[in-house]
Structures are given as structure tokens and as C-alpha cells.
Chain A
Amino acid sequence: MYGHFPSESAFNQQLNAFLDNELSTSEEQEFLDSLQQSPALMDRFNKEKSFHDFLRSKIQRKTVSPAIVQNIKSKIQLNNKKL
């Protein structure tokens, strides 16, 4: 069911590592080979990739107030004492 992976968890971890560019070249190739041999795993890969892309585009970044940044920069410029 999970190719050469010993468990579903192991496959999921490798899948996430692949999408996060955390695998070596040889690990990537091995992972892609396992996908090619299993339509079920390829289906999972495609679904997880869609979610991965969705997540990265939809999580709203919280923006720091310019006043906070300016306060920090001002204190650095003062260059000491009460940092």
C-alpha cells in the first residue's frame, strides 16, 4: 500500500519532506520512483501538493507596526545604554 515505506506515517513524512525540499537528490528520485509505481500514492501526492500550495498562499502574515520597527531602529542608532 505504501510502496517501500514501512507505514503510512513514514510515507506521509517523506511526502512532506519532499514538498519542503528537504530530501537529497537520491532520496527525491527514490520517492518519485515509488510514486510512479503506485497510482494510489501518486494520488495522495497530488492532493498533498495542492494542500501544501494552498497553505502557503492562504496563511495570513501578521504585519509588524512600522512604529515598532522605527522604535527598534532608533534605539540601535542611539547605539547603547538601554538596549
Chain B
Amino acid sequence: MQREDTPLTPEQTALIENELVQHIGSMYNFAMSLTRYDEAESNDLVQDAFFKACRSISQYKEGTNAKAWLFTILKNGFINRYRQKSRSMTTEDIDKYFFKGTSEEKSAPQPFVDLGEDFFAQMLGDEVTNALNQLSPDFRSIIIMCDQEGMSYDDIASVLNVPIGTVRSRISRARNQLKTHLSEYGSQLGYVDRRG
């Protein structure tokens, strides 16, 4: 890794500006999902991660997947911050809690949850965000990466450091759980499934 007091070369600066800067918005969006939408913490997380990426720019290969690389750095930064706050949890505990899922993942069935079109068409963005916030951190982050950031399963597997089969399983489960939360949330708000 580049020493902190070593200036960036003009080529490195150009590489950062051309390939990394464009992902700051996505990094923030990902950070918000990890911090449960804490703006101040997300801002710190993004800046720390981005500057760490700049210091490590010699490890980045031009033209490869900058977003997945930045997300991995951000995720690791989040784990380190969380560990500092929660001395009782190890890095492995935090990684498992937030990103690796539970041991039930492979064996638990994934029944189909039917959320009627009429029903969810009445939902607003805020309500979806609230339902998303009810998900476990590993489910929330995978939906953000897949459905909002449009990342491939390969890239998500790389960021989370899990097999692609786990990504496939977790996305299916996360969406089903989100539907369940939306259904419960909608019922509380008085939305009705008009299909009878």
C-alpha cells in the first residue's frame, strides 16, 4: 500500500478521477444501507473508504471493477468502525452478522410470498425504505447492491466474500422477506389486496 506521505503520481490522480470518483454516490448509498441511514456516519465512512482506496490505488487495476473494489473497502471500513464501538464482537462476528448471514441460510425453505400488484402499487418510496430498514443487515445490503446499484451476482459475491450460490439464495430470501414486511406494513396503513 502507498505510504500516507507519498504523493500520488499524475497517472494515479487521473485514474482516481476517471474511474473512482464516479462511484462516490453509490458508495454513499451503500454506506447508508449499512448504517441504517445515519447520514453523518455514512459521510465519514465514504470519505474514509475513498481515501483508503486512494492510498491503495497501486493495488487497483485500471479498467477492472472499481465499484466492487470500493464497496469491499467500504465494507471492511464499516466492520472496523463497528468493532471499535462494540468491543465484545470480533471482526468475524461482525462480518457474519452483517454480511455472511446465518447458518440457516442453506437449509431453510424459501416459500413464495405473493404480494398482490394492486396492493404494492399503492406503496410509496418512503414505505419501501421503511420496510427495507426492517431487514437484517445482510439482506438489506444485498438488495441495495442488486436492485439499486445493479451489481452482478459475481461482483456481490466478491464484495461479501461469499460463494455465488449464497448470493443467489440470499437475494431470493431477501426479496421474499421484504415482501413480507411490505405486506405487514401495508396492512398497518390500511392498504388492502383488492383481488378478494
On whether the two chains bind one another, the answer is yes
Q: Are A12 and B176 interface neighbours, CB within 8 A?
A: yes
CB of A76 within 8 A of CB of B178, answer no
Within 8 A of B (CB), among A61-83: 61-65, 68-69, 71-73, 75-77, 79-83
Residues on B with C-beta less than 8 A from A62 are: 28-29, 32, 37, 42
Q: For B153, what are the chain A residues with a Cβ–Cβ distance below 8 Å?
A: 17, 20, 22
Is the pair A51, B152 in contact by a Cβ cutoff of 8 Å? no
Q: Does B100 contact A (CB under 8 A)?
A: no
Query: A51 with B115: in contact, given A61-B148, A80-B6 (CB under 8 Å)?
Result: yes
Question: Smallest CB–CB gap between A82 and chain B, Å?
Answer: 7
**A59 neighbours in B (Cβ, 8 Å):** 125, 128-129, 132, 143-144, 147-148
User: Closest Cβ of chain A: how far from B170's Cβ, in Å?
Assistant: 10
Q: How far apart are the CA atoms of A76 and B148 in the complex, in Å?
A: 27
Q: Which of A1-53 contact B (CB under 8 A)?
A: 7-9, 12-13, 15-17, 20, 22, 44, 47-48, 50-52
Q: Which residues of B contact A20 (CB under 8 A)?
A: 146, 153, 171
| B121 pairs with A54, CB closer than 8 A | yes
| CB <8 Å contact, A79 and B178 | no
Q: Is B187 an interface residue (CB 8 A)?
A: no
Which residues of chain A come closer than 8 Å to B115, judged between CB atoms?
A: 47, 51
Contact, CB under 8 Å: B169 / A56: no
Instruction: Contact check, A64 vs B25: say whether CB atoms are below 8 A apart.
Output: yes
Q: Are A80 and B8 in contact (CB under 8 A)?
A: yes
C-alpha gap A56/B24 in the complex (Å): 20
Task: Name the distance in Å between B155's Cβ and chain A's nearest Cβ.
Answer: 11
**Cβ of A80: which chain B residues have Cβ within 8 Å of it?**
5-8
Give bound CA distance, A81 to B2, whole Å: 11
Q: In the complex, are the beta carbons of A12 and B172 less than 8 A apart?
A: yes
Given contacts A8-B111, A8-B112, A9-B109, contact A47 B126 (CB under 8 A): no
B5 touches which of A60, A72, A79, A81 (Cβ 8 Å) = A81
* Residue B4 lies at the interface, judged by CB distance under 8 Å to chain A: yes
Residues of A within 8 A of B (CB): 7-9, 12-13, 15-17, 20, 22, 44, 47-48, 50-52, 54-56, 58-65, 68-69, 71-73, 75-77, 79-83
16 contacts between A and B (CB under 8 A): A13-B172, A16-B172, A20-B171, A47-B117, A50-B117, A54-B120, A56-B148, A58-B123, A60-B129, A61-B25, A62-B32, A64-B24, A68-B43, A75-B51, A83-B4, A83-B54
Q: Which 6 A-B pairs have the closest CB atoms?
A: A80-B7, A64-B28, A9-B110, A62-B32, A60-B125, A58-B128
